[in-house]
């Protein structure tokens, strides 16, 4: 049993060291400046972050107070919801 545990531990250590032993080759692959544009990776469809943030507007279920702040909904207990 001890020999099996030692073998498994050495195998796990070899896999772990092999995974992080790529050096500069791995870092170059992750460099955003040298990577391909997103359109090339998605078959010509441009994806990514939007150019502007969405506008925050009042939702139909929200209520506002006299200062224009959204009023949090009332908190219900489980008994009130199930009643």
**Residues 62-76 pLDDT 10s:** 999 999 899 888 887
Decide: 35 and 27 in contact? Cβ < 8 Å.
Answer: no
Choose the most confident range, by mean pLDDT, from 6-10, 32-36, 48-52.
6-10
**Which residues form the domain of 74?**
2-49+56-82
Mean pLDDT value across residues 31-53: 62
- 74 vs 34, which has greater pLDDT? 74
Mean pLDDT value across residues 5-13: 85
Note the helical H segments in the chain.
2-19, 24-30, 38-41, 78-82
pLDDT score, position 66: 93
What is the number of structural domains in the chain?
1
pTM, entire model: 0.30
């Amino acid at each position: 049993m001890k020999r099996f545990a030692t073998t498994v531990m050495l195998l796990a250590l070899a896999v772990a060291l092999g995974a992080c032993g790529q050096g500069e080759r791995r870092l170059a692959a992750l460099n955003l400046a040298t990577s391909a544009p997103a359109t090339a990776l998605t078959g010509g469809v441009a994806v990514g972050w939007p150019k502007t943030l969405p506008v925050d507007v009042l939702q139909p279920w929200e209520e506002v107070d006299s200062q224009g702040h959204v009023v949090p909904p009332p908190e219900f207990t489980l008994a009130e919801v199930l009643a």
